[in-house]
Amino acid sequence: MDYDEATQAILALTRGETDAVALMATLACEIHARHPLSDWTGFYRVVAPELLKIGPYQGGHGCLVIPFARGVCGACARTGEIQNVPDVDAFPDHIACASSTRSELVLPVWNGQGKLLGVLDLDSDTPAAFTKADEDWLVPLLAQVFRDAA
């Protein structure tokens, strides 16, 4: 995957946009189309204290509601830390939104004021699909794209 090309395309598409849902929709589409191992790519939005709801995504149906106390997405939202899970069956309290999912990468999405807007969730039917290079690409990209998001 060409991270630099993907970054340039995403930044061009999102330049000047501040609406979080519009940004999420664009990123979900672009990341899903470009990452060869992501079978589900989407966002879960913070909609209430300790509660995530599904946002824009690409792929099959996702879980509609995820509390911060459950699953990989909840762990990311609760701790504010990246969750790169090479084997979801080994993750305590994993929520199986799709039975085919074998690995997962979840990153927190913050705006420039430090507000947690949600999490970006990439699921794969391939074990250990996501790498440190994926994390190193997505962390600064999310920070830049969502800097001024509301």
Asked if the structure places residue 119 within a domain, the reply is yes
What is residue 96's predicted lDDT score, i.e. its pLDDT? 76
Domain count, the chain: 1
| Statement: residue 100 has pLDDT above 90 | no
Query: Mean pLDDT, to the nearest integer, of 17-42?
Result: 97
Asked if the structure places residue 117 within a domain, the reply is yes
What is residue 140's predicted lDDT score, i.e. its pLDDT? 98
Asked if the structure places residue 42 within a domain, the reply is yes
What is residue 87's predicted lDDT score, i.e. its pLDDT? 95
Quote helix, strand, coil % in the chain, to nearest 5: 35, 25, 40
**Residue with the larger pLDDT of the pair 1 and 85:** 85
User: Please, are residues 121 and 104 in contact by the beta-carbon 8 Å criterion?
Assistant: yes
3 state DSSP class of 107 = strand
Q: Degrees (nearest 5) of the Cα angle 28, 7, 31?
A: 20
What is residue 58's predicted lDDT score, i.e. its pLDDT? 97
Q: Which amino acid is at 106?
A: V
pLDDT bracket for residue 125 (50, 70, 90): very high
Asked if the structure places residue 13 within a domain, the reply is yes
Asked if the structure places residue 91 within a domain, the reply is yes
* pTM for this model (two decimals): 0.96
Q: What is the mean pLDDT of the chain?
A: 96
> The tokens of 104 are what?
């997962």
The beta-carbon contacts of 1-5 under 8 Å, at least 24 apart in sequence, are 1/34, 1/35, 1/36, 3/133, 3/137
Asked if the structure places residue 150 within a domain, the reply is no
For residue 111, the domain's CATH number is: 3.30.450.40
What is residue 27's predicted lDDT score, i.e. its pLDDT? 98
Report which secondary-structure segment, H or E, holds 136.
helix 132-145
> The tokens of 49 are what?
């204290």
Pairing of strands 51-58, 65-67: antiparallel
3 state DSSP class of 137 = helix
Structural domain boundaries enclosing 141: 3-145
Report which secondary-structure segment, H or E, holds 119.
strand 116-124
